[in-house]
Structure formats: structure tokens, C-alpha cells
Structure 1
Amino acid sequence: MKENKVYILLTDTGTLFTRAIKLYTKKPYNHASISFDPDLLEVYSFGRKNVKNPFAGGFVQENIQDRLYNNATCTIFSYSVTELQMQKMKHYIHQIEKEKHLYRYNFLGLLAIIVKKPIKRKNAFFCSQFVATVLQECGIYDFTKPLSLVTPHDFQESPGLQLVYQGNLSDYNQEGTDQQNAI
């Protein structure tokens, strides 16, 4: 029987916007994404729709080959999931993708994290809130706090996660890179 894995990608791109977030959080990573393949060919999140404008955000399929990620540091984790959980996650994300014009980036939610008061907004997510929602809605992991307060750092403390890689994102999956030794 084939083992199914979902991948959680935590990144720090070093942009002005992410440096501002990092200044507040004091954590190494400030963005979370989800993927269904180990090569990260299809990566989903809520983030900037335009590389040059961090304030135009929403549902995005990220391209880790994009220059935004050239100098990004990352940690990649995996969860082992059942075939049913995998299908539920893919369906959930593809429904959002089909209706992405109805979804927006939850900037207000970022402020809610600062004051530690959850704000639930319809069809609005920030990156880690989106990834946490996918995992919880599909029965992978039940967070102990409101999903609107989940940060990228919270994933690092989730039981059941396996560390796949840590280092420069541009070095991940390069020809000849031994990922297990990169940790």
C-alpha cells in the first residue's frame, strides 16, 4: 500500500514585509504553505498575488522557482495521511482554487494575532490559518487554539510531523543533494 504524505513548507524570504513580521514574532519562519508532492511542484497558500506588492494577497499556487524564493530559508515537514484524508485535502483546496475570486488575504487576522484575540472572517485567510484549516477540516491535526491564531511556528510543535529538510529552499531537491544530511 502506497504511503501518502502531505508537506508543510515554512519559509522566510527575507523581504521587507517578512522582516517586519519576523521582528514581531522573533521566529525563524513567517510563511506557511502546503503541498502534496515531495518535489513541491504544486504549493498552495494565502499570500501575495504579485511579487512586488505584499498587500495584494489571496489564494495562491506558489512557484518555489520564482525569484522571490531565491534566498529563502525553509523547513519542510511531512505528515503521513490516509488516502481519504489526501482526497479530502485536495478537494478542499481545489474548491477554494475554483472560487479564488471570492477569497482574500486576512490582514485583519494578522493584527488579531498581535492582540491574541481570534477573528473569524468569511473567505479570508492568512497563510498559516489556511494550512491549519486544511489540516483540521480534513482530520489530520486538531489544533488546540483557534485557527485564526495559528502561526507558522505552531506547525513546528505539532506531533506527528516528520522533518524532511531544513536549509536554503533553492538547494532543496537539487541534483545530488542528500536531503537527510542537510538537516
Structure 2
Amino acid sequence: MRDRKIYILLTDTGTVLTRMIRLYTKKNYNHASLSLDSNLEEVYSFGRKRPRNPFIGGFVKEDITNGLLHNAECVIYSCTISQKQYEEIQAFLNEIESHEHSYRYNLLGLFAFMLKKEIRRKNAYFCSEFVATALTKGEIVQLRKPPSFVAPHDFEEVGDFQLEYRGKLASFYHNKNHSYQLSLSS
């Protein structure tokens, strides 16, 4: 079995909600997503179901080619994983996707995070909680805190992840369409 790579995408979309979260975290990137392919053709997260309404959220397949993410500042990290780990994450994603209507955005959990209180809700995640859960289920990382306390910037400190790209997501997409593969840039 060959090793595979997964990708963590951290973004700053510049929305009102992101700016409010930034006031709290004092960090540049306040949204986390997960992708299983280097071109970021399928990017998964928990976020807005409708771009103009931050209150209707849940499991989303994000499109980096338009909308909120297209003009976002971002960093992309990769991690090499085994085929078994890849299959575990894929099974987790498939389970959520096949029961997508049962999953919600964990807005209550986000507020609990800010108050340093743990609230576990069935079938509800905020973005970094979702990514942390996927990485835990795939046995890729051993987190020092529960997924409900993981913030997007925490992924920048995980030793097994390598920085692949930093800049505008639109530039990444444009370069990708010109035979660009992820490569380290600052």
C-alpha cells in the first residue's frame, strides 16, 4: 500500500464573522477545511450553507474557485498518511456526506469554546472541530485537547504537517490550472 497526502486549508475570508473570531483569537486564519487531493478539488468543512447567511450552516463541500474562499488569504499544509489512515478519513467523510441532513454547524460549541467550556453535541461541528475529529478518527494526530477546543491556528503547530502554500487562494487556483502542483512558497 502506498502512502497518501491530506491537506489542511486555513483561510481568512474577511467576513464579519471571521473578523469577530479574529478579534478573539488574534490569529490570521480562522477557518479550517480538509482536502484529500492536492488540487483542492474537494474541500470539506463545516460552515455556511449559503454564502450570504452565516447562521445557516452545516457540512459543506467548499468551492475554492468562487465565493468567500476564492479571494481568501490562506495557508495550505500537507501530511503524508498511510492508505489505512486515508480510508478511515474517507469513511468518516462518506458517513457525514450520506447523512448530511442530520449534521449542523456547532454555533453553540463555538461560543462554548470562547468561554472555555466543553459542549459535545451529536452531529454538530464547527470547522476546526470537524477537521480535528477527522484527523483523530484517522489516527493521524494525537491532540492534547478535545476536538471541541481545537482552533484553526492549532493546525499550524502540528509537527507532522508541512507548509505547502501561503497566499491568495485565487492565485493557488490560477497557478494550479497552469500545471501547478503544490509547492512551498512564502
> What residue identity is the alignment partner of 1:31?
H
> In structure 2, how many angstroms separate the alpha carbons of the residues matched to 1:44 and 1:161?
18
- The equivalences for 1:1-183 within 5 A come to 2-173=2-173, 174=175, 175=178, 180=183, 182-183=185-186
> The residue matched to 1:93 in structure 2 has which SS?
helix
Structure 1 distance, partners of 2:44, 2:64, is: 11
SS at match of 1:129: helix
The share of aligned pairs that are identical, in percent, is: 50
Aligned length: 183
Tell me how far apart the structure 1 counterparts of residues 165 and 2 of structure 2 sit (CA, whole Å): 21
Displacement of 1:2: 3.8
Distance in 1, Cα, partners of 2:20 & 2:134: 26
Q: Mark the CA change 1:44 to 1:76 in structure 2 (over 3 Å): closer, same or farther.
A: same
Q: CA deviation at 1:178?
A: 7.9
Q: Helix, strand or coil: the match of 1:78?
A: strand
Q: CA 1:136/1:179 → structure 2, altered by over 3 Å: closer, same or farther? A: closer
Q: TM-score, normalised by structure 1?
A: 0.95
User: Runs of 5+ in structure 1 lacking a partner?
Assistant: none
Partner secondary structure for residue 38 of structure 2 = coil
After superposing on structure 2, the runs of 4+ consecutive aligned residues of structure 1 that deviate more than 6 Å are none
Deviation per CA, 1:74-116, whole angstroms, max 9, x where unpaired?
0000111000110110111011000011110000111111111
Gaps of 5+ in 2: none
Moved more, 55-64 or 15-24: 15-24
Residues 106-142 of structure 1: CA deviation (Å, up to 9, x unaligned):
0011111111111111110000000000000110001
Describe the shift of the 1:127–1:181 C-alpha distance in structure 2 as closer, same or farther (beyond 3 A). Answer: closer
Measure, in 1, the Cα distance between the counterparts of 2:78 and 2:71.
22
Deviation of 1:170 (Å): 0.6
Secondary structure of the corresponding residue to residue 108 of structure 1: helix
How far off is 1:17 after superposition? 1.3
